[in-house]
Chain A
Amino acid sequence: MIRLKDVTAGYKGVEVIKNINIVFKKGSITSIIGKNGSGKTTLLKTASKLLKPYSGDIFLNDESIYNIPGKQMAKKISFLPQIRNIPNISVYNLVIHGRFPYLGFPRIPRDEDKAKVEHALEKLEVKRFRDKNVAELSGGQRQKVYIAMILAQDTEYIFLDEPTTFLDINHHLEILEIIKELKNMGKAVIMVLHDLNSALSYSDKICIMDRGELVAYGSPQAVYSSGEIERIFNVKCDKVYIEGKSQSQYVFSI
């Protein structure tokens, strides 16, 4: 598990998140929600060691992540940023970058690495694009290819920053189903989501951020019942059951 203890972090001396205490467990999906500028991405980056906190510590199985060297960390924790360079390389070459933490000099992939890449390409159904340039793919296809890279990286903890933003509804749901599968593989997925309905229906835990503070944390049902969503987002939230569907949905109105 990953445990944040009294973590305060930010940029250029400004505290963006304050005194965060939270635990992310394997085999679960945690969604971080909150208004723009509430510190969601900062929390994600701090927890995945991309941003050094001003105070507090982060533990991976009781070991401070600051004692774990970069490549060892990259075998445990992966992070998919929202804004990325679009590289001019083939899909296969991008996905095989996921094996970078496992490569020694002279960076030649072993059979095991290639097998993991093939598996990831198959799992995400992007095998037919393998020789295509990443820059040529649609937004949804590109997102799947990046998740294939994360899958090839084969980490226990996966941090995703808005993995479904800008995607059409079909790709949006497809990505969420893939994330569910990652959880079923025993991985922990921690993500920032803007779509509250998706967050509430797909997650095991919801974490609400407001002005840099963690204001609610718990199961979707508990968070829904607490009324915090309505308070923070200033909307009315209703849970609806649709006949023939096992999953309940959430609708929002002003």
Chain B
Amino acid sequence: MKAIDTLQRSYTRKFLIKNTASYNIFVIASLAFILLFFIALSISVGSSSIPLAKTFSVLFGEDVVSKEFQIISYVRIPRTLAAVLAGCALSMSGLILQTVLNNSLAGPSIIGVNSGAGLFTTLIIALFPAYFAFMPIAAFIGALLATLLVYFIAKTTGASRLTIVLAGAAVSSFIGAMTDTILTVWPDTAISRTSFVIGGLSGVTMDALRLPGILIFVSFMAAMIFSYDMNVLSLGDETARSLGLNVARYRFLFIVLSSLFAGSAISFAGLLGFIGLIVPHASRFIVGYDNRMLVPVTSLLGSVFALVCDILARTLFAPYEVPVGIIMSFLGGPFFIFLLLNHRRRLISD
């Protein structure tokens, strides 16, 4: 725990000086450019590769009949959009959780958010298949309930950083058992379950993205608006309160936002782990700790990361496809270890 703390501190030690307005603009502009590049790449590559020129003629409405048009409109665009949305949403969920719980180990997959969303989506599949369209709402409610439960347990037991992680593990495991029970009783739901657990973006339709897209957009705007309040909250409860911030109300608001982000993404992408933990850390590495910068940077970086993973998932073993969740863990794990090792000397000296 101390090691991660020290790691966080050393980010800013190294990068704070760079953190001028022009540096910030440069970072956001570069990430936006990189994101656009990967969006274009994501639309043009896949099991049948479409030349970039053709891609653009479809995108600009010059071609509305060809086979490529069909592929791009009904497969590639929804999929690309899904990666952008899921990457942004899960990373934002992680950023908010880490900030408001003041816990660098928090992430939607660790705190029990994912399992809560998972249980509720499984319930919808098993019991109310007709209400399939309400999956994002169900996932949001599940995520919110799980987060509040974990937060409540940690708070009543005296919220140490470790307690929250342990409570998250306990709640996750309990909720996981409930989900498994449903799967045993309604075995038909198991098919969609496997891809749901690993997380994947294949077969996503525009229809499935509409509601999550709106929710993610609204949550993102709210996170931008309240990013300064997030800074104040991270000073600690008492300091924040004496500065006039209604801590309980804002913490609840942020937990709701974080659940909205996670629930929305999980409803169409399944349980993509890890991204919510590592992208916020990587963003702090780039821009430091000011949430006014972290919100846009984490969103962009999360989208880029998810897109890169998805492109790899589709192309590495083409024509076979690897679920994107597996690629994320393969890339994310070593990256996180690299971050830790890179600061090895400081970790020891501190």
Contacts and interface: CB of A to CB of B under 8 A. Distances in A.
Contacts of B11: 88
Chain A, interface residues (CB within 8 Å), range: 35 or more
A103 B225 CA distance: 13
Interface in A93-111: 93-94, 97-98, 100-101, 103, 105-107
A70 B245 contact: yes
A245 interface: no
A73 to B, nearest CB: 7
A88 B8 contact: yes
Interface stretch (B55-63, B173-181, B231-239): B231-239
B290 A93 contact: yes
A45 B237 CA distance: 12
A90 interface: yes
Given A89-B288, A90-B16, A81 B239 contact: yes
Contacts of A135: 9, 12-13
Q: Is the interface of A mostly helix, strand, loop or mixed?
A: mixed
Given A88-B11, A89-B288, A97 B242 contact: no
Contact of B229 (A70, A88, A101, A107): A107
Given A70-B246, A93-B290, A133-B9, A87 B235 contact: yes
Contacts of B284: 88
Contacts of A106: 225, 228
A48 interface: yes
B344 interface: no
A80 B236 CA distance: 11
Interface string B1-35: 00000001101110011010000000000000000
Contacts of B246: 70
A105 B245 contact: no
Interface residues of B, number: 29
Interface in B206-241: 225, 228-229, 231-232, 234-236, 238-239, 241
B102 interface: yes
B289 interface: yes
Contacts of A136: 9, 13
Interface of B: 8-9, 11-13, 16-17, 19, 102, 225, 228-229, 231-232, 234-236, 238-239, 241-246, 284, 288-290
Given A80-B242, A84-B238, A89-B290, 18 more contacts: A70-B241, A72-B244, A78-B243, A80-B239, A84-B236, A85-B234, A87-B289, A88-B284, A94-B235, A97-B243, A100-B228, A100-B244, A106-B225, A107-B229, A132-B16, A133-B13, A133-B16, A159-B242
